[in-house]
Structure 1
């Protein structure tokens, strides 16, 4: 339930940003993928640090 609410709110914010013309369309479309990549990279780095301790 919460995941669905967050997805819908993310889409609504993206539409609002595009409607206000405050960002380029490419920025708004690519942002979730960049955020997810950063999340995965940070998990990978933390996983490697835990093994070395």
Structure 2
């Protein structure tokens, strides 16, 4: 946790939620997401975003 959010609390007001939730782990999580869910089937308002 980066210290900018609470664990397991979906805060829809966070402007940069990926950085707040996953910090330096975001790039690795995006690689995994692209490998296992390239069509982004499993998503919600604050899920790991696919790289654009």
TM over 0.5: no
- Comparing both structures, which one devotes a greater share of its residues to helix? 1
TM-score (norm 2): 0.27
Q: Between the two structures, name the one with larger relative contact order (CA 8 Å, sep ≥ 6).
A: 2
Q: If you compute each CA radius of gyration, which structure gives the higher value, 1 or 2? A: 1
